[in-house]
């Protein structure tokens, strides 16, 4: 694997685990739902913090941790539903759409309440932006393949939450989706042998649905987003 050869070959990548841990704690503690700053401003601040290779490692860790915790949360919800009702739900990380189509009304969207405390519209959006903007350097610090899988997982959860999870689409939600799509495209473009797009992405790309995007502070629609068109624009590399 090219990323592993680069990490092991010649010391060309200088990483500082201590700095990474300090950055992670800082991003975790200073930002999120409790911060009295707009999400868009938090994204700018966190993106600026996660500069360089150590920041890229931290961004990749945030995305992966969020995807892992969201999967664990949904699996726990499915297990609880089975315990209470006998209804068995399949939680498949490569495609959450069937789960949400079948049981969306019984499920809680996990990205607002993860144990790590990372907020999808703050730290996660910033981490995704960093991963995309530094995509050509990903294989210097990590294996980009599982990271890309986690980016697609978070994208799947985001769009499924819109359709089946009663998640309101405001400008912050739309910005997260746009960053996930564009960053996935940047990672794909930087890979020598990009993988096949996952099923939910392929399904979205066959559609041309638009969704109203609302002001975060009120009911007014301020625009629209066409997820399928945006995916076709960014992911057909």
Please check whether residue 190 is in contact with residue 136, taking contact to mean a CB–CB distance below 8 angstroms: yes
Residue 201 tokens, joined: 């992405």
Token pair for 116: 């790590």
pLDDT-above-70 percentage for the chain: 95
H helical segments located in 86-236: 97-103, 125-133, 138-141, 144-164, 171-190, 199-205, 227-235
Structural contact between residues 120 and 161, judged by C-beta atoms closer than 8 angstroms: no
Phi, psi of 107 (to 5 degrees): -105, 150
Distance (Å, whole) CA 141 – CA 31: 25
What does the pLDDT look like over 42-86, one tens digit per residue? Answer: 999 999 999 999 999 999 999 999 999 999 999 999 999 999 999
Q: Is the pLDDT assigned to residue 184 strictly greater than 60?
A: yes
pTM of the model: 0.93
Quick: pLDDT tens for 117-169: 999 999 999 999 999 999 999 999 999 999 999 999 999 999 999 999 999 99
Smallest CA-to-CA distance from 125 within 173, 170, 168 is with 173
Question: What is the average pLDDT value for the chain, to the nearest integer?
Answer: 94
Look at residues 39, 74, 63 and name the one whose alpha carbon lies nearest to residue 164. 74
Among candidate residues 73, 177, 41, the one with its CA nearest the CA of residue 120? 177
CA atoms 89, 93, 94, 100: torsion sign: positive
Distance of CA 123 to the CA centre of its chain: 10
CB 234 within 8 A of CB 184: yes
Show the tokens assigned to 149.
């899988």
d(CA 152, CA 181): 8
Instruction: For residue 174, give every residue at least 6 positions away whose Cβ sits within 8 Å of its Cβ, in sequence order, or none.
Output: 213, 223, 225
- CA distances to 47, 96, 161, 176 from 156, in Å: 23, 7, 8, 12
């Amino acid at each position: 694997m090219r990323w592993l050869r680069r990490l092991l070959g010649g010391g060309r990548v200088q990483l500082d685990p201590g700095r990474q841990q300090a950055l992670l704690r800082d991003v975790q503690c200073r930002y999120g739902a409790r911060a009295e700053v707009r999400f868009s401003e938090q994204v700018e601040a966190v993106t600026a913090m996660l500069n360089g290779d150590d920041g890229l490692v931290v961004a990749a860790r945030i995305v992966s941790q969020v995807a892992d915790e969201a999967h664990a949360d949904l699996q726990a919800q499915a297990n609880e539903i089975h315990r209470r009702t006998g209804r068995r739900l399949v939680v498949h990380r490569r495609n959450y759409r069937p789960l949400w189509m079948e049981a969306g009304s019984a499920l809680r969207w996990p990205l607002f309440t993860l144990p790590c405390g990372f907020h999808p519209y703050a730290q996660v959006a910033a981490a995704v932006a960093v991963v995309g903007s530094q995509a050509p350097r990903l294989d210097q610090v990590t294996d980009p393949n599982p990271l890309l899988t986690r980016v697609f997982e978070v994208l799947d959860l985001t769009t499924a939450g819109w359709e089946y999870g009663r998640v309101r689409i405001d400008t912050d939600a739309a910005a997260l989706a746009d960053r996930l799509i564009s960053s996935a495209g940047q990672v794909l473009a930087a890979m020598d042998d990009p993988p096949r797009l996952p099923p939910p992405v392929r399904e979205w790309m066959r559609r041309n649905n638009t969704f109203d995007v609302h002001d975060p502070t009120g009911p007014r629609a301020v625009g629209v987003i066409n997820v399928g068109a945006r995916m076709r624009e960014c992911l057909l590399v």
